[in-house]
Structure 1
Amino acid sequence: MVSIAKCVVLLCAAVAASGFELGELDVIFHLFTRTNPTVSQPLVPSVNSIMASLFSPARRTVITIHSHADAVTGNFNAFVVNAHLNAEDVNVLAIDWSPGAGMYSQGLGNAVQCGERIAQFINLLSSTFGYGPNNYRLVGVGLGGHIAGIAGDRTVGEVPHIIAIDPSLVGWTHHPDILKPSNAGLVEVLHATAGLLGYDLPLGDLDFYPNGGTFQNSCAGDVTCSHILGYAFYAESVTAEGGSRFVGTACESYEQAISNSCSGEKDAVFGGLADKSGQTGIYHFFTNFSPPFAQG
């Protein structure tokens, strides 16, 4: 019993938040457009930086937010940035907050600051250029899912849509800034490693649990593989508009979703580009073992 108690203490110490004051260059906004789809323009929240860039107020903006131990050049953005630029003419701002997110505990401690920096950028564009929060979609993975919610909460006005892909579990159960429906007009959540890396219980207006939400098809017991497939599903949903979709079956409860026993209406689709205003519920869907993953 003593050894078990020691293990619990060590685990708590390992995941305790250890943030620090983020400097001006610790959160960089990397702008990608169809003019520069592979080499970004790094921006900071300043009028001069924005005016000298390829950012266009005539386009909508997608903001992507990576998790810990990642950067703007990581796998998440390779999927999501390319998907959005292939599907639509938008500004994509890929947040690089890697100096404050090397370890999970560090990223947990710096998540609120990162979200506040993103809100600062959105508020600057709104107040200076009249480019309001209604022009944005925020897409975050892991810690980035909660950061998207923090950014939405701190924005003056309402961001219409947040998509949180496998938002993190550890350190968030009692966190005051946990992702919640009030963070945006619509908060959509995909649970890919529920109860392991990712948060288990519903967090948004729409919560999707593919293949039971914990281990994804073709990943067996590999939790990292399942986490990656979460944003692979999202990228496919964006680029496959008009083709097969991730059509959800409505569930009466979280328990039904994780046991693959939902039998309600097939009236919600994960991801994609469509407006989903007013949609709510818990949903389940199955996927194929290899791309294309969508079955609907």
Structure 2
Amino acid sequence: MAALVKCLIVLCAAVAASGYGLGDMDVVFHLFHRGSPSVSEPLLPTANSIMQSSFSPFRPTVITIHNSGENVSGNFNAFVVPAHLTAQDVNLIAVDWSAGSGMYTQGLANAVQCGERIASFINLITNIANYGPENYRIVGVGLGGHIAGIAAERVIAGTIAHIVAIDPSFFGWTHNPNILSADKASKVEVLHATAGVLGYDHPLGHLDFYPNGGTYQTSCGADASCSHILGYAFYAESLTSEGGSQFVATACDSYEEAVAQTCSGEKGVVFGGIEDKTGQSGIYWFQTNFVPPFAQG
């Protein structure tokens, strides 16, 4: 097994170095808002397209980035888009880069280019609407978690307010210079749902959460795909749990404590939601229910 994992890592690194190339129309931006929560408004990366759209500089903006093998109408956005629009009146821009991410290795090779396209789009909005990066939250899953950081560090007019990386990918990222890190945004929040299996294992952000130990989720057994999906199901629930249970986490002294579920620190930091998390940092663990609602706090 160790040899297989090593071969996969080498293969991913080699493919990433070779690159596939994204065409001009291979990254598409879809705008949702409360006035149109289920039918998107495609945006071109041009001033005319943005100025003639329903994008509002008076709303905060959430950008979502799907994983390889998905598209804008996939499972991730089916959970996250309606949850965000329920929680807050936002411009919700769902990035569709499925033309360049059908296979994992293809998506890995195109991750930097995708991040650059997203950054250029954010920079364009800044130039035409005087709308700064402090108004953005970028939410990515799998490869999208790392792409969120790639995009954020290429924004030229300031610092992105918040990145939420849900089960950011493992293979091809251990020695990757573009890996997600805490310096990519004012607040980088990471949920590890399949740590060391599909998702990255060690802490990457200001806040790293390991639900149920972070490797496999309680109601999934040893099914990593199921656990990966539950990662964004937890996030979606966190956005709509106002007045209900929250994912209240316990502080851990180390990554090893988090995966062993032996944390005994202070309890009170909450995963997800829309609240400001200025000043919060650390490694955290929480348990979930087997079925929705998953939060126990």
Over 3 Å counting, the alpha-carbon distance change for 1:20 and 1:190 in structure 2 is same
CA distance in 1, matches of 2:59, 2:9: 46
Instruction: Report the Cα offset of residue 11 of structure 1.
Output: 6.8
Which residue identity does 1:99 align to in structure 2? Answer: A
Report if the CA contact (8 A) 1:241-1:273 is conserved.
Answer: no
Aligned residues: 293
Over 3 Å counting, the alpha-carbon distance change for 1:137 and 1:86 in structure 2 is same
Report if the CA contact (8 A) 2:12-2:171 is conserved.
Answer: no
SS in 2 for 1:39: strand
Aligned to 1:247: 248
CA distance in 2, matches of 1:47, 1:11: 40
Is 1:63 matched up with 2:78? no
Aligned to 1:161: 162
Report if the CA contact (8 A) 1:164-1:188 is conserved.
Answer: yes
Aligned to 2:130: 130
CA distance in 2, matches of 1:11, 1:269: 33
Instruction: Report the Cα offset of residue 53 of structure 1.
Output: 1.1
Aligned to 2:28: 28
Over 3 Å counting, the alpha-carbon distance change for 1:124 and 1:11 in structure 2 is closer
Which residue identity does 1:98 align to in structure 2? Answer: S
Which residue identity does 1:152 align to in structure 2? Answer: A
The TM-score normalised by the length of structure 2 is 0.95
Report if the CA contact (8 A) 1:19-1:100 is conserved.
Answer: no
Which residue identity does 1:167 align to in structure 2? Answer: P
CA distance in 1, matches of 2:22, 2:220: 36
CA distance in 2, matches of 1:6, 1:260: 28
Is 1:179 matched up with 2:145? no
CA distance in 2, matches of 1:241, 1:165: 21
Instruction: Report the Cα offset of residue 128 of structure 1.
Output: 1.6
CA distance in 2, matches of 1:182, 1:24: 29
Aligned to 1:13: 11
CA distance in 1, matches of 2:288, 2:93: 29
CA distance in 2, matches of 1:250, 1:264: 5
Residues 95-145 of structure 1: CA distance to partner in whole angstroms, max 9, x if unpaired? 000010010000001000111111111111112210110111000000000
Instruction: Report the Cα offset of residue 267 of structure 1.
Output: 2.7
SS in 1 for 2:193: coil
The TM-score normalised by the length of structure 1 is 0.96
Report if the CA contact (8 A) 2:9-2:171 is conserved.
Answer: no
Over 3 Å counting, the alpha-carbon distance change for 1:199 and 1:10 in structure 2 is closer
Over 3 Å counting, the alpha-carbon distance change for 1:253 and 1:10 in structure 2 is closer
CA distance in 1, matches of 2:266, 2:279: 16
Residues 153-209 of structure 1: CA distance to partner in whole angstroms, max 9, x if unpaired? 101210110000000000000101100000000100000000000000000000000
User: Which runs of 5 or more structure 2 residues have no equivalent in the other structure?
Assistant: none
User: Which runs of 5 or more structure 1 residues have no equivalent in the other structure?
Assistant: none
Instruction: Report the Cα offset of residue 5 of structure 1.
Output: 6.9
Instruction: Report the Cα offset of residue 7 of structure 1.
Output: 9.1
CA distance in 2, matches of 1:62, 1:211: 27
Moved more, 125-134 or 283-292: 125-134
Instruction: Report the Cα offset of residue 23 of structure 1.
Output: 1.6
SS in 1 for 2:262: coil
Aligned to 1:211: 212
Moved more, 37-46 or 207-216: 37-46
CA distance in 2, matches of 1:114, 1:10: 22
Is 1:83 matched up with 2:83? yes
Moved more, 86-95 or 8-17: 8-17
> Counterparts of 1:195-274 in structure 2 under 5 Å?
195-274=196-275
Which residue identity does 2:248 align to in structure 1? Answer: V
Over 3 Å counting, the alpha-carbon distance change for 1:287 and 1:10 in structure 2 is closer
> Counterparts of 1:29-48 in structure 2 under 5 Å?
29-48=29-48
